Structure 1
Amino acid sequence: MNSASSHAPVRPARLGSATGPALPKGLAAFLVFFSSGAVLVLETAALRLVGPYVGVTLQVTSSVIGIALAAIAYGAWAGGWLADRRDPRTLLAPALVLAGIATAVTLPVVRYAGEVLRGGAASAILLLVALAVFVPAMLLSAVTPLVVKLQLSDLRRTGQVVGWLSSIGTLGAVTATLVTGFVLVAALPSTVILLGLAVSLGLVGLILGWWLGRTAGGQLTGPARVSASLAVLGLLGAGLTTVAPNPCDIETAYHCARVETDPGRASGRTLLLNSARHSYVDLADPTHLEYAYTRWIGAVADVMAPAGRRLDALHLGGGGFTVPRYLTATRPGTENVVFEIDGGLVELGEEKLGVRQGPDLRAVVGDARMLVAAEPAESQDLVVGDAFGHLVVPWHLATREMAAEIRRVIRPDGGYVQNVIDYPPLRFIRSEVATVAAEFRQVALIAPPAALAGEQGSNFVIVASDVPLPLAAVRERLSEVDPGAVVLDGAALQEFVAGALVLTDDYAPVDQLLATG
């Protein structure tokens, strides 16, 4: 080896040119931004799509995130593998059109499958979420490696190109998350969001296929025809949405909501949120309390002050506004303030459930935790906790710190009643009673005997105050409105909650405590 050759500079290698020239920089950035953003739109909308069938719990949210991430991983791997074996130009447009088809078909597939998997266990949640997210998210995630392959023409710029496109994809995901969460979900039903996304993906794929075919001098007309055929197939699939069962009358920012007329009571209305029975109101008789737990709350309200005396009442959660209407009817002059996070439910209540705002009822839209913190001290006679996310009390409304805020706003002789749902082995209700008891001096629990024995799931109503509770009067009133309910207090209640976890803002595993088994 001569010295000249041994010291010759090494030229950076260039990648093979089998893929042809790179895409225009702006087009490459758009494709990565758009496809990455579409995954996050799909992920956010999917949570609303599956909610009516399996709820909106921590497990469901975790399933959506986890399956979307799995789809992104498999899509990136598959896109990279294909990019090394085929000309990415022949794959980009079909990938987008197929993603559009999969997004459109998601709607009827989830609605039909949801009726079968409704309220199922963890396996049912995972299967339904996978049907909603996996295929379109995987196809969309294959776009970035295909684009990256086309843009890599020089090893000297590999890191720059990969880093640039990676940042563009992340920006697309962030933008889509914010726009979907703050704008789209508040303004549009999930059906419109998903069909709009499907149409956008299909159009972008068709236009891209046409442009690539034109710039390639007709060499890509075959893939363009395939994309057009796939688009027609997608339109036919999306048409199934028109005949698929829809569990919603309206979609609010938080719920799939429906109001049903009681076939046995012409003036009765049932509010269903995410297909779960949430509230019942009688438009003609606000003193009619259909559900047992509302009768228990009503019994406490009936005896906590002299009959007919007005109250200042704060309600955490509005739903069908059943209890505020009851207090207004039984205690004229009562001022009810309702904190409801879902403004759509307030509008639905005014439209279909006889809600009329005025001197006796004022609805405030916002998170109850934040709104309670802003309330004046000792301003309420009664606080009613009846806020739920599906069938679960939101964790930040179930902690000792929240109980302390509620105690702060209650007058010295006032009371707090809280509705809780739990199932055997009753870990959550035990913890919630212990949590409330950590702040209030007097606590009692109302429930059916079989539920207290851990034999069935049920509503439970916690009653709390800093003054002795009128339990004898409560028991007497319960014997009139619901003889099947019992009141647990004193040593029996202490035994019931023995060893239970007190929930705090630092540690409140509400969903895990509610898990059966």
Structure 2
Amino acid sequence: MSGRDATGPDTTGPATGPATGPATGLGPRAAAALVFGSSAAVLVVELVALRLLAPYLGLTLETNTLVIGIALTAIAVGSWAGGAAADRVDPRRTLAPLLAVSGAVVALTPVTVRLAGAVPESGALVPVAALAIFVPGALLSAVTPMVTKLRLSSLAETGTVVGRLSGLGTAGSIVGTVLTGFVLVSAVSVTWILVGLGVLLVAVSALVAVRVGRVRQVGLPAALVVLGGLAAVVAPGGCDAETTYHCVVLADDPENPDGTTLVLDGVNNSYVDADDPEVLDFDYTRGLASALDVFAPAGEPLSAYHLGAGALTVPRYLAATRPGTDSVVSEIDGGVAAVVRDDLGVTPDGVEVRVEDGRLGLRDQGTDSRDVVVGDAFGGVSVPWHLTTAEAMGDVRRVLRPDGVYLANLIDHGPLAFARAEVATLAEVYDHVALAGTPEALAREEGGNLVALASDAPFGSGSAPDLAAYEERMAERDLDWRVITGDELDAWVDGAEVLRDDYAPTDQLLTPYPVG
């Protein structure tokens, strides 16, 4: 026998395989483009899926975790299965179908998810959404090991080829993330991002099929992409506007021709009467307005800062009832601000809307500069966690004048764990805290909206609201709410933990809908 093992591989020099070199039909540039593009497409689908699901599941930590978890599972499964398949089947037979089927699923995703979401009691939404994320994610993730197999011509260059293509895949993921977050979402609707990506994937699959001589593999997926595009036009769940953060719907009030409800991601956010800013339809707005009514003498201008804008219901009310009031609003979603300004036309003089994150906006407010701060920022039904903490409330306290007041709209159900934690947080920061809500909510028998009041000045002295007058004012507005403070409020809080920047599990504490 020679020095070479008669049955083992030859490792003394280059070993060429049957599908290497020019015969693959896939040059180095084409291979690089496929790996880069398929990796980018996975991240586009992942990020857009978050926005597609928000109207049905909300913008919560759980929704983000679900989508990211499914996408990572798809990447892992696709990479493993693609590598195993590449050793058993000629990758030239599979690349075009992988891209084509991915394109078809992506293009059909908007209509299938919205059809499932239109019937919430069916329980189909999460499985349909999971498949819509998993299938293209797994198929596209299989592209990299397939291409790697085709480009390997020698064991001596394995590390170079694998490293280069792996790096290109990571770069594609980065570009897909940045392109979606900074460009696509602000310029194109969710529907047409996915349909357009589906068209692109099928087109690329056709090019690959031509290169490797398997054009017939693309026909059916191409037809499904066309079907997805046509169906998306009539799919339920359309938005009047798609902003960076929300699906916006303006719902006319059938009983009031001047009334409109601003709906964000399927949740009723604000109600406005275009001709009469003193019309307050939602209970919580009447609760906030009643507190403002007794905060200072009627008609006296105030300096107010608002965390969250919605349809500007409360700033409009202040401008109408206290002429000369200076209101600054921090609203993170410029698209919502534009809809309110351009479509509703309800931005009054004296109200400045700044497109910015509320926590950052707080930093720009001067110390002792505001009579009142109103907290009414929501992502769906959840308050952004960084606006709930003791540190955030400390910054609110800095902005308030010594006799100023912080008013917060809270929403919670079930055991009211989040609302109790937020009131505990306010009590950690402010000398005086009170809570207004229905008798049932204050007895912890049911949830809903509550209004928290916090001040360093005793209630009923100076400008801090008189709580008895506050209850009377709410009764005048046909709002059957009570106010509790002191020992009664301590019993309601029941030892809830203070929220801090280092620990604020608001999504886990919150019960967004009634239990049972």
TM bucket (normalised to shorter chain) is over 0.9
Match of 2:301 in 1: 310
Q: Which residue of 2 aligns with 1:441?
A: 431
TM-score by length of 1: 0.93
Pairwise mapping of residues 237-256 of structure 1 onto structure 2 (< 5 A)?
237-256=228-247
CA contact (8 A) 2:372 2:400 kept: yes
Query: 2:12 aligns to what?
Result: 11
Q: Does 1:409 align with 2:437?
A: no
| Residue of structure 1 in register with 2:480 after alignment | 484
| 1:275 match | 266
| 2:493 aligned with 1:497 | yes
Question: Which residue number corresponds to residue 195 of structure 2?
Answer: 195
Q: Structure 2-normalised TM-score?
A: 0.93
Note the 1:180-329 alignment, pairs <5 A: 180-213=180-213, 223-329=214-320
Of 60-69 and 244-253, deviating more is 244-253
- Are 1:178 and 2:178 an aligned pair? yes
Pairwise CA distance, 1:3: 9.5
Deviation at 1:185? 0.9
- 1:507 equivalenced with 2:503 (yes/no): yes
The answer on whether the counterparts of 1:68 and 1:133 sit within 8 Å (CA) in structure 2 is yes
Q: Residues 292 and 482 of structure 1 are in contact (CA less than 8 Å); yes or no, is this contact kept in structure 2?
A: no
In structure 2, the residue matched to 1:369 is 359
| Structure 2 partner of 1:148 | 148
Partner of 1:218: none
Asked if 1 retains the 8 angstrom alpha-carbon contact of 2:96 and 2:217, the reply is no
Partner Cα distance (2:35, 2:11) in 1? 34
Q: Which of 380, 386, 397 does residue 396 from structure 1 map onto?
A: 386
Task: Mark the CA change 1:231 to 1:125 in structure 2 (over 3 Å): closer, same or farther.
Answer: closer
**Which secondary structure does the structure 2 equivalent of 1:313 belong to?**
strand
Give the CA deviation at 1:352.
2.7
Amino acid at match of 1:193: I
More off after superposition, 282-291 vs 507-516: 507-516
SS of 2:366's partner is coil
Q: CA deviation at 1:94?
A: 1.6
Amino acid at match of 1:249: D
Residue identity matched to 1:139: L
2:463 aligned residue: none
Change (3 A) 1:3 1:308: closer
Report the Cα offset of residue 262 of structure 1.
0.4
Aligned with 1:464: secondary structure? strand
Equivalent position to 2:415, from 416, 425, 430: 425
Asked whether the 8 Å contact 2:432–2:456 carries over to 1, the reply is: yes
Query: Closer, same or farther in 2 for the Cα pair 1:50/1:483, shift >3 Å?
Result: closer
Aligned with 2:99 (options 84, 96, 115) = 96
Structure 2 residue aligned with 1:335, among 306, 313, 326?
Answer: 326
1:363-415 Cα offsets, whole Å, 9 max, x none, are 00000100101211011011000000110000000000000000001111111
**SS state of the match for residue 305, structure 1?**
coil
Q: Shift in Å at residue 186 of structure 1?
A: 1.3
Tell me: CA distance 1:509–1:104, structure 2 relative to 1, closer, same or farther (3 Å): same
1:350 aligns with 341
Indicate how the Cα distance of structure 1 residues 238 and 3 shifts in structure 2: closer, same or farther if over 3 A, else same. closer
Matching residue within 462, 472, 480 for 2:468: 472
User: Within 2, Cα distance between the matches of 1:508 and 1:124?
Assistant: 31
Q: Which amino acid aligns with 2:407?
A: V
Identity across the alignment (%): 50
Q: CA deviation at 1:12?
A: 4.1
Q: Compared with structure 1, are the counterparts of its residues 14 and 408 closer, same or farther at alpha carbon in structure 2 (3 Å cutoff)?
A: same
Cα distance, 1:335 vs structure 2: 1.0
Q: Which amino acid in 1 is paired with 2:48?
A: A
Q: Identify unmatched segments of 5+ residues in structure 2.
A: 460-465
Asked if 1:69 corresponds to 2:72, the answer is yes
Compute the displacement of 1:111 (Å): 0.8
Write the distance in 1 (CA, Å) between the matches of 2:16 and 2:129. 40
Distance 1:247 1:396 in 2: 30
Q: Deviations for 1:456-475, whole angstroms, at most 9, x for unmatched residues?
A: 22011100111112112111
Give 1:217's aligned residue: none
State the distance in 2 between where 1:417 and 1:74 align.
49
Cα separation, partners in 2 of 1:4 and 1:506, compared to 1, 3 Å: closer
**CA distance in structure 2 between the aligned counterparts of 1:439 and 1:94, rounded to whole angstroms:** 60
CA contact (8 A) 1:420 1:460 kept: yes
Contact 1:357 1:363 in 2 (8 A): no
* Corresponding residue SS for 2:429: coil
Distance apart, 1:234 and its partner CA: 2.6
Conserved 8 A contact 1:109-1:131: no
Residue 264 to residue 226, structure 1, CA distance change in 2 (3 Å): same
- SS of 1:33's equivalent in the other structure is helix
Indicate the RMSD between aligned Cα atoms, in angstroms: 2.0
CA contact (8 A) 2:209 2:217 kept: no
Q: Deviations over 1:490-512 (max 9, x none)?
A: 11001111311100000000001
Cα distance in 1 for residues equivalent to 2:19 and 2:397: 72
**Count of residue pairs the alignment pairs up:** 501
Residue 14 to residue 332, structure 1, CA distance change in 2 (3 Å):
same
The code of the aligned residue for 1:394 comes to P
Equivalent AA in structure 1 for residue 218 of structure 2: S
Offset at 1:229?
A: 3.8
How far, CA to CA, are the matches of 2:31 and 2:496 in structure 1? 56
Q: Give distance in 1, aligned partners of 2:96 and 2:353.
A: 50
- What is the deviation of 1:192? 1.6
Instruction: State whether structure 2 residue 38 is matched by structure 1 residue 35.
Output: yes
Name the aligned partner's letter for residue 178 of structure 1.
V
Answer yes or no: is the 8 Å Cα contact 2:312–2:347 preserved in 1.
no
Structure 1 residues 245 and 19: alpha-carbon distance in aligned structure 2, compared to 1, 3 A threshold: same
CA contact (8 A) 1:381 1:414 kept: yes
d(CA) in 2 for partners of 1:256, 1:425: 30
Distance in 2, Cα, partners of 1:125 & 1:311: 47
CA spacing shift, 1:483–1:225, aligned 2, 3 Å:
closer
In the aligned structure 2, how far is the partner of 1:41 from the partner of 1:451? 42
Residue identity matched to 1:175: V
CA distance in 2: counterparts of 1:33 and 1:246, whole angstroms: 33
Q: Residues 185 and 18 of structure 1: is their aligned pair in 2 closer, same or farther, counting only changes over 3 Å?
A: closer
CA deviation profile, 1:35-63 (whole Å, cap 9, x unmatched): 00000001111111111111111111111
- Once residues 237 and 195 of structure 1 are traced to their aligned partners in structure 2, the CA distance between those partners, rounded to angstroms, is 7
